[in-house]
Structure 1
Amino acid sequence: MIDRISISGYRSLRSIILRLGALNVVTGANGSGKSNLYRALRLLADAGDGRLVHSLASEGGFDSVRWAGPELITNEMIRGEVPIQGTVRKKPVSLRLGFTSQPFSYSLELGLPQPSQSMFDSDPEVKRECLWRGISMEAKTLCADRRQGNLRCRSAKGKWRDVELPLGTHDSMLSEYADPFAAPELIVMREILRSWRFYDTFRTDADAPARRASVGTFTPIMSSDGSDLAAALQTIREIGDARSLCRAVDDAFPGSQIHIRSSEFGMQLSLQQPGMLRELSAAELSDGTLRYLLLIAALLTPRPPELLVLNEPENSLHPDLIPSLASLITLASEQSQIIVVSHNNALVKELHSDEICVPIRLEKRLGETIIQNANALDQYGWNWPSR
């Protein structure tokens, strides 16, 4: 389970540390930085798949995602005694992402490339990557250490070995190097990051993928767009927690049952409701009903991820469904570590009633996202490895 996540230099996240539990609820006013936190977590996961720089490019490039404020915000600036102004930069421009956990922890630093004649000069370079055992990074706990294009790994006997592999300046060592004998820790960390699952706002419009028939194949993990919803629900019914599935549907829509049928077009979902003379197809379901079924499939997955992140799952849901959603999330937190990003007070209140819930409330101060209850969350601090 992740102990802490640290982000530095990303949009409004100048420097932030989150101390996590099994169930974590991130909330705050509009514009406080909730979406930036969600995106930063996705970027961290992208390091395991080699999509990090491509994802940054899709957000507008390195210049667009960097912290735009001063390098240092002084107490005088906070009190309004002096204006917000830049000073002579003492540290290099960087975007840093990292987390601590058991059995391994990881950090990554991106920076500006050396000027050249390339049209890709705006792509950031990987300046430093570290992977270590346990929570605390010390010289004796480091397993893999990458400085720009140079990578070294520690052997089973504790000796460092330089890896004779030309690493791409834009790619993570996790996606570039795989040796189950010389560096098994890199493979483990790569698979950990790849197991992280993200569900953003599901489409529920008339042409939404979830309203169409899905490919009839075994689906223990529903896709991020819900295009295989019917197959995912049927997989839960056959190899997952079928009782919880039936209970979740009945809890939200009393007396209702879902049906999955196979046809030449694929698997098709329908819902039988009390008093109706026929079943309603996925194309006929209301936005809220369809979204809730998508959330059921995501949260009751028979293959729970290491980390599950839900971004505003309450969208389009009727207020009466919020307690049922909170119960589903709490149930899922028994199998996966969960981060819920939400501004819905009812959902936040329901989740906060659980003893295992860690509340994280964000707010903006001089353009910077900070944690209101930071003293309780970041008292252990964070030391980034130097370049």
Structure 2
Amino acid sequence: MLSTVAFRGYRSLRDLVLPLGPLTVVTGANGTGKSSVYRALMLLADCGRGEVIGSLAREGGLQSVLWAGPEQTTGARRTGVTEGTTRTRPVSLELGFASDDLGYLVDLGLPQSSGFRSMFSRDPEIKREAVFAGPRLRPSSALVRRQGDYAEVADDTGRGFTELTRALPAHHSVLAEYAGALPELNAVRDRLRGWRFYDGFRVDAAAPARQPRVGTRTPVLSDDGADLAAALQTIIEVGHDDLARAVADAFDGATISVTDNDGLFELQLRQRGMLRALKPAELSDGTLRFLLWGAALFSPRPPSLMVLNEPETSLHPDLIPPLAAMICAAAANTQVVVVTHSGGMQERLAVADALTVELIKEWGETRVAGQTMLTAPPWDWGKR
């Protein structure tokens, strides 16, 4: 289980360290940085897939996502005036996590030289990476560390390091290049690759979830919900009764089933008082969205981490309690982070002992309400 995630230099996250529990609720007013936390977690996951450079490019490049304020904000808080400060650290975007076994840190920066006449001079470079044991990076806890194109691994004595490579490309992660050779790198890479993110679903008339699709066994719902019918049928055949109970509770005893028309799977919802089952095209937006969340949360293959961004969007208040119940049930099998500003959702999840992290913004910087140097989780960024 993750105990800490940390971000430095990303959008409004100048230097943010978040504690995590089995079920964590990240909340705050609009504009406090909740979406930035969600995106930063996705970037961290992309490091395991080898896609972080491309993801940053889709956000406009490294320069577009960097913290735009002064390196230190203590002067602004003291004087009430925001002014530039003398830079003491290199321009960088840093991401990391710590868990009950392994942790990971990556430092991305501006390229020094992309090659003669190269058109990729805006691509960020991976300046530094580290895999470590324990709650934070220390010289004694480092298992693998990388500086520029040089990477090394801790030796069997635990007191020194052995060279891994001197020619690691700046746009390649050590996780992708050497995971097959080192079990600790493989464990971190697979963990990051397994994280799942759901940021609402399309429910318009042309939404993928409303269209019949060729069905195959689907233990993991896709992020666009296109394989909803196959995912629901997989849950049904596994014998997961919690989903059926959640649907019945939310829609007055309704039941769901899946039809197979020449290999094309289609969802059906049967409600009390109706002479026939309703097809996806006939379902309301809120009903379809609730079923999508159910398929995601009751996955027969739970990930190590599932992140939900404002799952209550476009749902009637009456659906918040059953949705919260599904989230709590999922948290019994996987670590869940819920980003929300719904008071009703917060109250329901608080009953299940969720850890609530409230974000606030001061002088453009996202901070955790009430967090001090003494109460913040232990974390050390290290140096280039």
Q: TM-score range by the shorter chain?
A: over 0.9
Q: 1:345: Cα distance to partner?
A: 1.2
Q: Does 1:102 align with 2:100?
A: yes
Mapped to 1, the partners of 2:193 and 2:313 lie a distance apart of 26
Q: 1:12: Cα distance to partner?
A: 0.4
Q: 1:119: Cα distance to partner?
A: 2.0
1:366 corresponds to: 363
Q: 1:83: Cα distance to partner?
A: 1.8
How is 1:203-352 mapped onto 2 (pairs within 5 angstroms)?
203-241=202-240, 243-264=241-262, 266-352=264-350
2:161 corresponds to: 160
Q: 1:170: Cα distance to partner?
A: 1.5
1:112 corresponds, among 110, 118, 136, to 110
- One-letter identity of the residue aligned with 1:16: L
2:62 corresponds to: 62
Q: 1:145: Cα distance to partner?
A: 0.7
Q: 1:383: Cα distance to partner?
A: 1.0
1:173 corresponds to: 174
- Residue by residue, what CA displacement relative to the aligned partner does 1:13-34 show, whole Å, maximum 9, x if unpaired? 0001101111110111111111
Greater mean deviation of Cα atoms: 187-196 or 153-162: 153-162
- Relative to the length of structure 2, the TM-score reads 0.95
Return closer, same or farther for 1:68/1:136 CA change in 2, 3 Å cut-off: closer
Q: 1:46: Cα distance to partner?
A: 0.2
- 1:213–1:265 Cα contact (<8 Å) kept: no
Greater mean deviation of Cα atoms: 248-257 or 132-141: 132-141
- One-letter identity of the residue aligned with 1:13: L
- 1:150–1:167 Cα contact (<8 Å) kept: yes
- One-letter identity of the residue aligned with 2:109: G
Mapped to 1, the partners of 2:196 and 2:208 lie a distance apart of 19
Mapped to 1, the partners of 2:288 and 2:61 lie a distance apart of 35
- 1:50–1:175 Cα contact (<8 Å) kept: yes
Mapped to 2, the partners of 1:173 and 1:46 lie a distance apart of 13
- 2:136–2:378 Cα contact (<8 Å) kept: no
2:379 corresponds to: 382
Counterpart of 2:230 in 1: which secondary structure? Answer: helix
Counterpart of 1:293 in 2: which secondary structure? Answer: helix
Counterpart of 1:247 in 2: which secondary structure? Answer: helix
In structure 2, runs of 5+ residues without a counterpart are none
- 1:19–1:378 Cα contact (<8 Å) kept: no
Q: 1:338: Cα distance to partner?
A: 0.6
2:91 corresponds to: 93
Q: 1:138: Cα distance to partner?
A: 2.7
- Residue by residue, what CA displacement relative to the aligned partner does 1:347-381 show, whole Å, maximum 9, x if unpaired? 111112222x1111111111111111314995344
Counterpart of 2:213 in 1: which secondary structure? Answer: coil
- 1:5–1:98 Cα contact (<8 Å) kept: yes
- Relative to the length of structure 1, the TM-score reads 0.95
Return closer, same or farther for 1:326/1:157 CA change in 2, 3 Å cut-off: same
Counterpart of 1:163 in 2: which secondary structure? Answer: strand
- Residue by residue, what CA displacement relative to the aligned partner does 1:239-280 show, whole Å, maximum 9, x if unpaired? 252x11110110111121111011125111010111111111
- One-letter identity of the residue aligned with 1:65: V
Return closer, same or farther for 1:378/1:12 CA change in 2, 3 Å cut-off: farther
Return closer, same or farther for 1:161/1:240 CA change in 2, 3 Å cut-off: farther
Q: Would you identify which runs of 4 or more consecutive aligned residues in structure 1 move more than 6 Å?
A: none
Greater mean deviation of Cα atoms: 10-19 or 341-350: 341-350
Mapped to 2, the partners of 1:77 and 1:138 lie a distance apart of 31
Counterpart of 1:145 in 2: which secondary structure? Answer: strand
- One-letter identity of the residue aligned with 1:345: G
- 2:4–2:377 Cα contact (<8 Å) kept: no
Return closer, same or farther for 1:83/1:136 CA change in 2, 3 Å cut-off: closer
In structure 1, runs of 5+ residues without a counterpart are none
Counterpart of 2:60 in 1: which secondary structure? Answer: coil
Mapped to 2, the partners of 1:178 and 1:18 lie a distance apart of 27
1:18 corresponds to: 18
- 1:18–1:377 Cα contact (<8 Å) kept: no
RMSD between aligned residues: 1.6
- 2:179–2:189 Cα contact (<8 Å) kept: no
- 2:138–2:380 Cα contact (<8 Å) kept: no
- One-letter identity of the residue aligned with 2:360: E
1:200 corresponds to: 199
- One-letter identity of the residue aligned with 1:328: M
- One-letter identity of the residue aligned with 1:332: A
| Equivalenced residues, count | 381
Return closer, same or farther for 1:240/1:171 CA change in 2, 3 Å cut-off: farther
